[in-house]
Amino acid sequence: MFILAYPTTVYLVDDDGNFLVDDEDNYLVSGSPDYSVALKDPEYSNIVRYNTGAITRENRHGQAKVFTDTDWPIIKTNVYTFTTLIFSQIVSLKSFLDNTAGLNIEILDHNSLLKTGYIITSDNEIITQKDNCSYDVSFEFKEDV
């Protein structure tokens, strides 16, 4: 299960640090978020990009030199792709994207990793397959590092 939530929620864990779930494998939280969406696990072809801000320049002799600074931020971007979603999930996802545009959100991903950051893709990249039977969606998530 893949959960997007706003605002920051507290997931309940046991003494070993494992997330607590109910009988239907739903994660237990203290309090409820204002907006949340539960989706199936993303496809295995997810992409993680790191941008260190390094600059490459050539010197007079044609050799490449890479310039970096430890003060420059490292930007981590995750690209998630979901296929065969149903219409109600798409409506919930669109509503979530509209209500949380530009806000810091949380993602509890399929590996039980809790990530905070921003969705930086607009919601117009939703593709329908087979006359509105199933939907594919992909979005980029800029993670706080």
All domains of the chain in start order, with CATH: 2-143 (2.40.30)
Region of 68 on the Ramachandran plot (φ > 0 left; ψ -120 to 50 alpha; else beta): beta
Query: Strand, helix or coil at 52?
Result: coil
pTM attached to this predicted model: 0.67
Are 74 and 52 in contact by the 8 Å Cβ rule? The answer is yes
Task: Dump pLDDT digits (tens) for 94-141.
Answer: 888 888 878 888 888 877 888 888 888 876 667 776 677 788 888 888
**Quick one: which of 77, 61, 56 has its CA closest to 121?**
77
**CA 139 to CA 118: how far, in whole Å?**
11
